[in-house]
Amino acid sequence: MVVQRYLHKPLLIDGFKFDLRIYVLINGISPLRVYVHKNGLARFCTVPYESPVTGNMTNMRMHLTNYAINKDCDDFVANEDEDADDKGSKRSMKSVLDFIINNFSYEKAIKCE
């Protein structure tokens, strides 16, 4: 199942909108057993984000982070260095969480909601 909500004021990294892919396995309902994989994925848009207005609503590469939409864009940055998982259009979830921890205070994070 995909769980998502469009945010009109998203948190941006380097000016780009991103999403986190968190992989979860539900192994049982009663009792509930849930396993969360420690290595998630962050997918980035390939066009810098601007708030939605009539003139940019159809720019899918600005508003949607789907790999299938962004992979063929000239601005897609493939990461070919496993030691630099904080660069490119697909990054590790850990690198994004580290970036947020190191660059945003709790007060700033609350304002992004």
What pLDDT is recorded for position 79? Answer: 85
d(CA 104, CA 86): 16
pLDDT grade for 9, boundaries at 50, 70 and 90: confident
Give strand pairing partners of 91. Answer: 42
What letter would DSSP give residue 93? Answer: H
Contacts for 23 with CB less than 8 Å, ≥ 6 apart: 36, 37, 40
Please check the confidence at residue 113 and state whether its pLDDT lies above 80: no
Mean pLDDT of 36-44: 91
Contacts for 7 with CB less than 8 Å, ≥ 6 apart: none
